[in-house]
Structure 1
Amino acid sequence: MNSLTDRTSVSRRRTPLNRSQIAGFWGAWAGWTLDGMDSFIYALVLTPALTELLPRSGYAATPANVGLAGSILFALFLVGWGLSFIWGPLADRFGRTKVLAGTIFTFAIFTGLAATSHNVWELGIYRFIAGVGIGGEWALAGTYVAEAWPEDRRKMGAGYLQTGYYAGFFLAAALNYTVGVHYGWRAMFLTGAVPVVVAILILLRVKESEKWEKAEARTVRTKPLREIMGPAYRRRTWVACILLTIAIIGLWAGAVYEPSAVIQLATKAGMARNDAIRTASLATGLLSIATILGCLALPPLAERIGRKKTLAIYFVGMAVAIVGSFGWAFYLPNGLAPFIAWLFVLGFFGGNFALFSLWLPEQFETRVRATAFAFCTSFGRFVGAGVNFLLGAAVLHLHTLGVPVALTALAFIVGLFVIPFAPETKGEVLPQ
């Protein structure tokens, strides 16, 4: 009996991580955390930054102009994200860690430079280039962890990694609650330069993944972008692009407009401006905690019922939460508390991004994996940029942000019809 128990415990024991795998994970996680922080800083400082910069650029700082300019600048940022597919082929050619450090350097330096902006044009340029760096970080961090971690750990590693982005949301909210309220939006952008230190540590301490080194040694040089569009990968590439596009539309519709919605509701409830900003920061923190929980719950669920059913559950949850928060609670006479309660649900199902960190590496071989990951995420960002511009125009036309954002729930309904065309990789090992 004891021997049976011992064998069972050994069989359940997971492969231990070595020092390089641990250091690599924390480097990727920290980069992804600071990436999330950087991304969300813009949403938090949107109104004060544009209120100051629009008059310097020759435009009145009316709520309508702030909303329109904010959407245009964010669309430009997403276009930069879209162009980040350039990092994928570089990582497949030169290695994951070097290029990962390069993405972090890029978004950190240009986020810091945004603090020096004299007008909206300068801010737009800095945010565009920062977007190019930020967009590449997810693809390379996800690819690295999938390849570097043992097979029996990498699925949960994807969930752990994805928590970093939303920990970054929480960090941005905490900084806004302290630094932003007291020192203004420029100080918030300056904090975005901190990731430079993480990039240096990655270059110095993290070893390249063995899977990439072995693949590099035996690979006859090909064009990975052409290969993922070839007969072997074409269908899964485009299905992944569509599903990621839907996830990105939902994330940014909810996350970008959430602080503005909370500030509006808090002001309507009679709060002073600074108190409303603090309330938005606390609501963002709640959203982030809920999303981290969603990320951690997802890998075990995907292992139990499969990737496709898990994504379908999370997509339904997102559709319901977006309608409940922006379509219903936002318009209640005393809607602040119900809106914040719905944000928890929205945050939890926003953890659907953890599935892509787990699922995309399983669909492509090592020699094209980073290119495929980067391309699929970049495609969604291009479309997301267009949708965000349309959202801004709709907000301007309808004089409300609730209904336009609520309508993005329709994208998740479309996603339910696309999911069946994706490959189910439950139980399969990472392809070499």
Structure 2
Amino acid sequence: MNSLSDRTPVARRRTPLNRSQIAGFWGAWAGWTLDGMDSFIYALVLTPALTELLPRSGFAATPSNVGLAGSILFALFLVGWGLSFIWGPLADRFGRTKVLAATIFTFAIFTGLAATSSNVWQLGIYRFIAGVGIGGEWALAGTYVAEAWPEDRRKMGAGYLQTGYYAGFFLAAALNYTIGVHFGWRAMFLTGAVPVVVAILILLRVKEPEKWQKAEAGTVRAKPLREILGPAYRRRTWVACILLTIAIIGLWAGAVYEPSAVIQLAARAGMSKGDSIRTASLATGLLSIGTILGCLALPPLAERIGRKLTLAVYFAGMAVSIAASFGWAFYLPNGLAPFIAWLFVLGFFGGNFALFSLWLPEQFETRVRATAFAFCTSFGRFVGAGVNFLLGAAVLHMQTLGVPVALTALVFIAGLFVIPFAPETKGETLPQ
């Protein structure tokens, strides 16, 4: 007869994390959180900032001019994001943690400087340079966690990491609800300088991943950008670029225009200016909570049904929620409550970004991984900048926010036909 111990299943124990891996994760997570806060601060203070700065720049602060100028500055910011591909080859050459700290330092300093803007031109320059720093943080944080964490933990680590960006949305909303309402948009930008402390801690406390150290020691110096566009990686690189472009268009169409839409709906419901801003902050918090839950739900789903099918589920959810919120609820006579309810759904499926933090590192070897991650994300931001400019022009031409944003649901439907061309990496270990 078998003993009780023979019949009792042995619980699987996950590989414990060492101090450097824990410190590195929290440094990357904090940087990504403050990155998300920085990105969303501008969306929250867009109207008051441009209302003050446009007259100083020789333009009337009409709703149409605010909308157009806001879209141009968003596009300029995204171009800065796009240029962030420069960080990838630097990280493959000099290490993940040093370059990660440099990206955080860059976006923090220039976000703080935005508080000193005296016209729209200065604000545009500061946001452009901050965008270069912000754009590099995701690629380097995602690469670091994938390489530094043990194989049996890195997939959930990608989901945990991605929650940081949307925790940043929540933090920005909380700051706007308190500091923004009472002290104005300049004070909001000043809070964006805080991440400098995180950058210093990363430099002092976190070691480079062993995978990068081994690859660096045993690799003949190569040209990683040329390699990811060469025969071995060309197809997966361009498919990833297209899928990330679709995700970025959804982020900037849905999340960034959400505060303006809520403020308009709140004003239509008879709320005061202060109450409208507070309502937009609360709605942003709900959107963020939904996205955090979507990020946490994604890795287990990707492990169960695969990377490609998981992305298809999330893309379909984005298409439905964008169309329902901006195309339907936005135009209801009393649409504020239905619109905010749909924002939670939109937020949940916006967690699709967590898949790329998990999936992209699995598609490329260590010697080119950071370059590939940075290139694929940057490509999408360039295209997203153009789409954002077209959205601003459409809003100005149609004199409405809802329909132009709702039409971006179509790109997610198109994405469903691109997903089959991507590699399925379920069950594979991170390539060295």
Calculate the TM-score normalised by the size of structure 1: 0.99
In structure 2, the CA distance between the partners of 1:289 and 1:7, relative to structure 1 (3 Å rule), is farther
TM-score by length of structure 2 reads 0.99
Match of 2:317 in 1: 317
Change (3 A) 1:406 1:216: same
Deviations along 1:247-281, one digit per CA (max 9) or x if unpaired, are: 00001100110000000000000000000000000
Q: What's 1:175 paired with?
A: 175
Root mean square deviation of aligned Cα? 1.2
Q: 1:218-249, CA deviations, whole angstroms, 9 ceiling, x for partnerless residues?
A: 00000000000000000000000000000000
* 1:12 positional shift: 1.3
- Structure showing the higher helix proportion among its residues: 1
CA change 1:85–1:4 in 2 (3 A) is farther
Distance 1:304 1:132, change over 3 A: same
Deviations 1:346-396 (A, max 9, x none): 000000000000000000000000000000000000000000000000000
Summarize the Cα distance change of 1:218–1:337 in structure 2 as closer, same or farther, 3 Å threshold.
same
Aligned residue pairs, count: 432
Give the unaligned 5+ runs of structure 1: none
Select between 239-248 and 1-10 the one with higher mean Cα deviation: 1-10
- More displaced stretch, 381-390 vs 3-12: 3-12
Looking at structure 2, the residues matched to 2 and 44 of structure 1 have their Cα atoms a distance apart, in angstroms, of 65
Structure 1 residue 5, shift from structure 2 partner: 5.8
**Distance (Å, rounded) in 2 between the aligned partners of 1:210 and 1:397:** 54
**How many angstroms does 1:2 deviate by?**
9.3
Shift of 1:33: 0.1
Specify whether residues 152 and 58 from structure 1 end up closer, same or farther in structure 2 by C-alpha distance, changes over 3 A only. Answer: same
Range with greater deviation from structure 2 (117-126 or 6-15): 6-15
Which deviations, in whole Å up to 9, do the C-alpha atoms of 1:329-348 show, x marking residues without a partner? 00000000000000000000
Task: Please give the alpha-carbon distance, in whole angstroms, between the structure 2 residues aligned to 1:5 and 1:260.
Answer: 62
Give me the whole-angstrom Cα distance separating, in 2, the residues matched to 1:4 and 1:188: 62
Q: Is residue 19 of structure 2 the alignment partner of residue 19 of structure 1?
A: yes
Following TM superposition, by how much is the alpha carbon of 1:6 offset from its aligned partner in structure 2, in angstroms?
8.1
Mark the CA change 1:6 to 1:31 in structure 2 (over 3 Å): closer, same or farther. farther
Name the CA shift for 1:95/1:258 in 2 (closer, same or farther; >3 Å).
Answer: same
Per the TM alignment, residue 80 of structure 1 is displaced from its structure 2 partner at its CA by: 0.1
Distance 1:5 1:120, change over 3 A: farther
Q: Percent identity?
A: 92
Within 2, Cα distance between the matches of 1:201 and 1:193? 15
CA distance in 1, matches of 2:429, 2:8: 22
Summarize deviations over 1:31-84 as a string: whole Å, max 9, x none. 000000000000000000000000000000000000000000010000000000
Structure 2: gaps spanning 5 or more residues: none
| Deviation (angstroms), 1:3 | 7.1
The DSSP-based 3-state class of the residue aligned with 2:203 is helix
Task: Summarize the Cα distance change of 1:6–1:231 in structure 2 as closer, same or farther, 3 Å threshold.
Answer: farther
Cα distance change, pair 90–156 in 1 and its aligned pair in 2 (3 A): same
SS at match of 1:13: coil
Distance 1:60 1:212, change over 3 A: same
User: Hey, what's the Cα distance between the residues in 1 that align with 2:18 and 2:202?
Assistant: 16
Q: 1:165-205, CA deviations, whole angstroms, 9 ceiling, x for partnerless residues?
A: 00000000000000000000000000000000000000000
Task: For residue 7 of structure 1, report the CA deviation from its aligned partner.
Answer: 9.3
Residue of structure 2 equivalent to 1:122 = 122
CA 1:327–1:83 in structure 2 vs 1: closer, same or farther (change >3 Å)?
A: same
Any idea what SS the aligned residue of 2:256 has?
helix
Flag the 1:7–1:184 CA change in 2: closer, same or farther, 3 A.
farther
**Compared CA separation, residues 326 and 211, structure 1 to 2 (3 A):** same
SS of the residue corresponding to residue 116 of structure 1 reads: coil
